Chains A and B, each alone.
Chain A
Amino acid sequence: MIPELGQFALILALLLAAAQSVFSFTGAARHNEIWMTAGVSSARGQFFFTGMAFLCLGYAFYANDFSVLYVASNSNSALPLQYRLAAIWGGHEGSMLLWTTTLALWTVAVTVFSRHLPAVFRARLLGTMGLISIGFLAFILFSSNPFDRLIPAAMDGRDLNPLLQDPGMVFHPPVLYMGYVGFSVAFGFAIAALLGGELSPEWARWTRTWTTVAWMFLTVGIAFGSKWAYYELGWGGWWFWDAVENASFMPWLVGTALIHSLAVTEKRDAFKLWTVLLAIFAFSLSLLGTFLVRSGVLTSVHAFATDPKRGLFILAFLALVIGGALTLFALRAPRVGLGGRFGMVSRESFLLTNNVIMVAAAGAVMLGTLYPLFLDALGMGKISVGPPYFDTVFVPLMMPAIFLMGLAIFARWKNTELPALAIRLKWAFAVSVVTALILPLVMGKWTPLISLGLLMALWILTTAVVSLRERLLKRQGSWLTALINLPRAYQGMIVAHLGVAAFITGVTMVKGYEVEQDLRMSPGDTAQVGSYQFRFDSIHDEPGPNYTAARAHFSVTRNGNPVTVLEPEKRMYTVQTMPMTEAAIEPGLVNDLYVSLGEPVSNQAWAVRIYIKPFVQWIWAGCLMMAAGGFLALLDPRYRRRNKDQQEGEKA
């Protein structure tokens, strides 16, 4: 009964999404308030019914309803509750339902938080988002229905893939989708602006808030995924340039460019077309990612069972949405105009250059991801593109971007004197170069890459310090209050940029100084790894809810002082008879200690892998700092104050 209710709710949601688009666009065309209000109500109704379908599927998992095919394929009665609920998005059908539910959530947020927008503009925005909802709801109903029945019902389910039975599965997909799908709002803003033929600095300010929120979610979502891979896959890597990882990274790069480009459009009324194009690209890349994952045109560890019919549907939808947006762009762009002019050396030019680099980086990632497909389609053979390509292309692209990042926070709008800039930054530059050259020698191993990585991180750090110092020297009162009283937008920028520095530090240190040892150890053995001693004390069997585990006990000491106890596990999941390695990790600011169990080699001895990963936590801490920077920037009073002014203006 409940699954049928969910199915029915989905059908209603599809009808309401259609109503949302029709009412909104017609209302906007006729300037008819009543139609436009009907569009808003339909959008809220669409959210209500999509959410209801989502809850119905959740209930089917909660109640172990194995007469639903999707539940029987992705769950099991022995599966703990939190993973039964996370299993909602453990397969293709449920992931798509999560996608469209997230879109409905963003849509309803737009109806609530956009009262200050001109009515016609808001109607076009909701109309555009409605079209996207139609596409996804139809896709679910016609080719990926999660409510399909299995008759007769299964006795028990086939269980969730053991790799996915992890807290990461509870958080990573929803947060990532919030980011991915959130770019649909920026996309809607771009389409509404193109339809109206007008792009004002206000437009940029409205768009900026929504884009920043989506970008924050995407940043955190990607970081979650990376961390999950690090501890779950059992060999300590944190990024694999897998096609699906790239699918989330490309919108991130373009979204980052978009945030910066919006800043210029807001402050200087410049880069207008470029900003609109980026807003279209960011969401297009989200859709592209969905297509790549769902259609099976590329091979990936993330790929679900694929079906050509689904691929064709998404491709047609992709062509309509992106093709339509780009056609509109081609028609309307000449009317929008380029906006304010600026000098060769100015904050605008630095930001534009950085923007172009970010987009080029996204392009390079896309080329690497799609290259196997291109060659295959041209009949030129099959290849796979791996980390060697991406590392080679990506690092050199990022170097000038990081250098400009340091400069751009000092450059003034419109025009900046280059010599003056050089004088202000000479110390930052000298300190960065000298430290980057010497520090690796102190740590006992020097390579050009380590030095280069440290140079980039230090350059961001020192320029941020110089910038803060210049600002704080002008202030009265204590340093702390002056620091707190700095504009939120500026604080946000500094925190986000320092996040990039932390991230680069983490990557550089892990690549440069990690210690890995593969050992054969029996209980009682001690291994010296780096400056730590790892003693394999014992191993015993430990039953779990839907698996049995062998749990080892390692005590770690350093110069005889106890450091920690690590308990890695080797699990055998009973339903899918799949062995899984649960690494034991002691995270730290400077070092992660990482132990994972391989196979038993004899009746006593085990293959053991021990790592010391310096600064690896900085990678994710850096991502969180970037997101925190976005959050601080959102707190800037100018977003709220001006919105309020406008509301009052409308009332008066």
Chain B
Amino acid sequence: MKGSMKFLLPLAIFLILVGFFAAGLKLDPREVPSPLINKPAPAFRLPQLGAADKTFSPEDMRGQVWLLNVWASWCSACREEHPLLMEMSRQNAVPLIGLDYKDTDADANGVLTQAGNPYKLVATDADGRVGIDYGVYGVPETYVIDKAGVIRYKQIGPITEEALRDKIMPLVKGLQ
């Protein structure tokens, strides 16, 4: 009996996999609730990309509604949302701050010179410590932070045109 049971093993493993896929179909890999919603944005002070002598802290943005966009040069999905970020920065609708996550300055600069820089400034989180505070588990992620420094919305994965039109921009307009 034991001998023939082992031949069922591949099938059993496969069926478990199918179960996961079936569950996965109902989920949207881009939608995640964050425990940080409606909580103050965690404080940090990090050097700026391309200007290592300057630093950035969320405190600097107090009194403004702004977006914090977590990205990295190694993140392929970030390139997907990049044209939208460029469009946003052209329209000047809301200040966009980048958080360069677990990346090297050279690579990050490379991508920005290549594809264009939509950010007002970019803070560099080379070792990912700030990413932990913000609960970054997928890059890109985008946070909408209000005038009081409270996180109001979190977009996981690339910003889509629908998300920008239906969620992010109305929210930003309301907060402003």
Q: Which residues of A contact B (CB under 8 A)?
A: 233-235, 240, 242, 273, 277, 280, 284, 291, 295-301, 308, 311-312, 315, 318-319, 322-323, 326-327, 329-330, 333-334, 370, 372-374, 376-377, 381-384, 386-388, 516, 518, 578-579, 581, 596, 598-599, 607-609
Chain A interface: which of B20-28, B91-99, B142-150?
Answer: B20-28
Total residues of chain B contacting the partner, CB 8 A: 46
Contacts of B138 in A (CB 8 A): 372, 382-384
Partner of A301, one of B21, B79, B117, B137: B79
Q: Is B20 touching A323 in the complex (CB atoms < 8 A)? A: no
Please report the C-alpha to C-alpha distance between residue A240 and residue B80 in the assembled complex, in whole angstroms: 14
A-B contact pairs, 20 of them (CB 8 A): A284-B14, A295-B21, A295-B24, A299-B77, A300-B77, A301-B77, A315-B18, A315-B21, A315-B25, A323-B15, A326-B11, A327-B11, A333-B4, A372-B29, A377-B23, A381-B32, A386-B139, A598-B113, A598-B116, A607-B114
A518–B113 touching, CB < 8 Å? yes
Check if A318 sits within 8 Å of B18, measured CB to CB: yes
Give which listed residue, B14, B80, B114, B137, contacts A581 with CB less than 8 A.
B114
The answer to whether A235 and B73 have CB atoms under 8 Å apart is yes
B86-135 interface with A by 8 A CB criterion: 102, 106, 109-117
Q: Report chain A residues within 8 Å CB of B106.
A: 516, 518
Task: Judge whether A299 and B24 touch: CB under 8 Å.
Answer: no
Nearest A residue (CB) for B4: A334
Q: Given the complex of chains A and B, what is the CA–CA distance between A284 and B18 in angstroms?
A: 12
Residue from A300, A301, A384, A578 whose CB has the most chain B CB atoms within 10 Å:
A384
B54 interface residue per 8 A CB criterion: no
Query: Measured between alpha carbons, how far is A312 from B26 in the docked complex, in Å?
Result: 10
The 8 Å CB contact of B20, one of A301, A377, A387, is A377
In the bound complex, what is the Cα–Cα distance between A236 and B76 (angstroms)? 13
Q: Which of A297, A370, A382 is close to B25, meaning CB atoms less than 8 Å apart?
A: A297
Chain B residue, CB-CB nearest to A576:
B83
A315 touches B22 (CB 8 A): yes
With a CB–CB cut-off of 8 A, which chain B residues contact A386? 74-75, 139
Encoded as 1 (CB less than 8 Å from any A CB) or 0, chain B from 38 to 67 comes to 000000000000000000000000000000
CB neighbours (8 Å) of A301 from chain B are 76-77, 79-80
Q: With a CB–CB cut-off of 8 A, which chain B residues contact A596?
A: 114
Give Cα A596 to B111, complex, Å.
Answer: 11
Asked if A312 contacts B114 (CB within 8 A), the reply is no
Interface assignment of B10: CB less than 8 Å from any CB of chain A: yes
- Which residues on the B side are within 8 Å of A242 (C-beta)? 76
A451 to B137, CA, bound (A): 34
**Closest-CB distance, B20 to chain A (whole angstroms):** 5
Please pick, from A233, A297, A326, A579, the residue contacting B21 in the complex, using a CB distance under 8 A. A297
Residue of B nearest to A366 (CB): B17
Docked pose: A333 CA to B109 CA in angstroms: 56
B15 x A297 contact (CB < 8 A) = no
Is the pair B137, A382 in contact by a Cβ cutoff of 8 Å?
yes
Other-chain residue from B29, B79, B115 in contact with A376 (beta carbon distance below 8 A): B29
8 new A-B contacts, CB < 8 A, other than A301-B79, A329-B10, A386-B74, are A291-B21, A299-B157, A299-B158, A301-B77, A370-B20, A381-B137, A386-B139, A388-B102
A224–B134 Cα gap in the complex (Å)? 39
Chain B residues, Cβ within 8 Å of A318: 18, 21
The residues of A that contact B74 with a CB separation of less than 8 Å are: 240, 386-387
B3 within 8 A of A: yes
Task: Find A609's partner among B21, B75, B113 (CB 8 Å cutoff).
Answer: B113
B residues lining the A interface (CB < 8 Å) = 3-4, 7-8, 10-11, 14-15, 17-18, 20-27, 29-30, 32, 73-77, 79-80, 83, 102, 106, 109-117, 137-139, 156-158
CA distance A598 to B76 in the complex (A): 18
Closest Cβ of chain A to B83, distance in Å, is 7
Contacts of B3 in A (CB 8 A): 334
- Residues on B with C-beta less than 8 A from A388 are 102
**Residue contact A383 to B24, C-beta cutoff 8 Å:** no
Q: Which residues of A contact B30 (CB under 8 A)?
A: 299
Nearest CB on A from B117, distance (A):
7
Given contacts A301-B77, A372-B138, contact A235 B110 (CB under 8 A): yes
- Cα–Cα distance between A578 and B20 once the two chains are bound (Å): 37
CB A306 to nearest CB in B, in angstroms, measures 10
A184–B158 Cα gap in the complex (Å)?
Answer: 35
CB < 8 Å: which of A235, A277, A372 contacts B114?
Answer: A235
Q: Closest approach, in angstroms, between the C-beta of B32 and any C-beta of chain A? A: 5
Select from chain A the residue with minimum beta-carbon distance to B108.
A518
CA of A315 to CA of B74 in the docked complex: distance in angstroms? Answer: 30
A599-B116 in contact (CB<8A)? yes
| In contact, B14 and A326 (Cβ under 8 angstroms) | yes
Query: In the complex, are the beta carbons of B18 and A312 less than 8 A apart?
Result: no
| Pair B114/A323 contact, Cβ less than 8 Å | no
A382 neighbours in B (Cβ, 8 Å): 29, 32, 137-138, 156
Task: State the Cβ distance, B131 to closest chain A Cβ, in Å.
Answer: 12
Tell me the minimal C-beta distance from B72 to chain A in angstroms: 8
| Cβ-defined contact, B7 with A329, below 8 A | yes
B158 to chain A, nearest CB (A): 8
Chain A to chain B: the 9 pairs with minimum beta-carbon distance, closest first: A598-B113, A607-B113, A377-B23, A326-B11, A384-B138, A297-B24, A383-B137, A333-B7, A330-B7
User: Measured between alpha carbons, how far is A291 from B26 in the docked complex, in Å?
Assistant: 14
Q: Is the CB of B157 within 8 A of A374?
A: no
The residue on A at minimum CB distance from B20 is A377
Residues of B within 8 A of A373 (CB): 20-21, 24, 29
**Residue contact A323 to B29, C-beta cutoff 8 Å:** no
Q: In the assembly, what is the distance between CA of A298 and CA of B77, in Å?
A: 11
Q: How far is the CA of A516 from the CA of B106 in the complex (A)?
A: 8
- What is the bound-complex CA distance between A333 and B115, given in angstroms? 55
How distant is the Cα of A643 from the Cα of B155 in the complex, in angstroms? 61
B11 touches A323 (CB 8 A): yes
**A379 CA to B146 CA in the complex, in Å?**
29
The distance in angstroms between the C-alpha atoms of A382 and B30, with both chains bound, is 9
Contact of A329 among B11, B75, B156 (CB under 8 A): B11
Q: Is the beta-carbon distance between A609 and B77 smaller than 8 angstroms?
A: no
Q: Give Cα A240 to B78, complex, Å.
A: 13
Shortest CB-to-CB span from B174 to chain A, Å, is: 26
Complex: A381 Cα to B5 Cα, angstroms: 34
Q: Which residues of chain A are within 8 angstroms of B116 by Cβ–Cβ distance?
A: 579, 598-599
**Whole-angstrom distance between the alpha carbons of A607 and B50 in the complex?**
13
- Residue of A233, A329, A376, A609 with most partner-chain B CB within 10 A: A376
Q: A438 to B95, alpha carbons, bound, how many Å?
A: 52
Given contacts A315-B25, A372-B29, contact A326 B18 (CB under 8 A): no
Bound form: Cα–Cα A518–B137 in Å? 29
Contacts of A334 in B (CB 8 A): 3-4, 7
From B76, B80, B110, B157, A516 is in contact (CB under 8 Å) with: B110
In the complex the two chains form, what is the Cα distance from A284 to B11 in whole Å?
12
Interface centre among B32, B73, B110 (most CB of A within 10 A): B110
